[in-house]
Amino acid sequence: MGSKNKLNKFKDNESFKNLLQPSRDEIISGDFKLAVNWKLFFKNQNPIILELGCGKGEYSIGLAKLNKNNNYIGIDIKGARLWRGAKTALDEKIQNVLFIRTQIELIEYIFSNKEIDQIWLTFPDPQIKFKRRKHRLVNFDFIKKYKKIIKKNGIIHLKTDSEYLHGYTLGILEGLGINPCFAEHNIYKSNNAPKEVLDLKTHYEKTFLKKDKNISYLKFKL
């Protein structure tokens, strides 16, 4: 039953106008970037903000509702998860959010230099095992990719339940000579955490909070 439901979602995804599914070859060749003009797609010139590893798109949708003068793009490789976000956006007629099904490591082929205003990393897998370190979304290689596509003084947000990932990221930033704009190990005990950090909660975050896990937040510029 679950497999059949997933296949139905994949079929729906093909018809959703707010969900793009370019092939890897199309992306790497540059054809996708040439074919898509984000200003024409969103029909405005508002700032573009990415959520990487967006899952079901809960945060992208929440941000889009809070900030209607921004455009949001959620990226994930899991089609069944993206189905939920795309369908919710269509059902609720949220026009300033879009989803792309692809690998995050391809973002520098999808967006032009200095095209993105902000990047959100919401509860990414901390990839604690040493052999998985290349998959951490805040390692040096990913930071280089972000620096390429984000505008000067563009902001990167990291929200996580992982003390390890929070500390690891602080170490990466120190190595790059970057002082974070905001760093908090438990945002729900902070007096000045941003509204979108406190008010928006993913399914995973709600689960973590029920287990009394601290939720940390980092905000920094490259």
**Would you say 8 and 16 are in contact if contact means Cβ atoms under 8 Å apart?**
no
What Cα–Cα distance (Å) separates residue 24 from each residue in 28, 32, 133, 209? 6, 10, 23, 37
**What are the per-10-residue average pLDDT scores of the chain (222 residues)?**
75 92 95 88 95 96 96 96 96 97 96 96 93 93 96 96 96 96 93 89 90 94 92
pLDDT (tens digit, 9 = 90+) per residue, 159-175? 999 999 999 999 999 99
Known catalytic membership, residue 125: yes
The pLDDT assigned to 2 comes to 62
Quick one: residue 119, left, alpha or beta (phi over 0 = left, psi -120 to 50 = alpha)? beta
The pLDDT assigned to 1 comes to 43
Q: What is the residue whose two structure tokens read 């929440």?
A: 62
- Predicted TM-score of the model (pTM): 0.94
Out of 117, 125, 141, 199, pick the active-site residue: 125
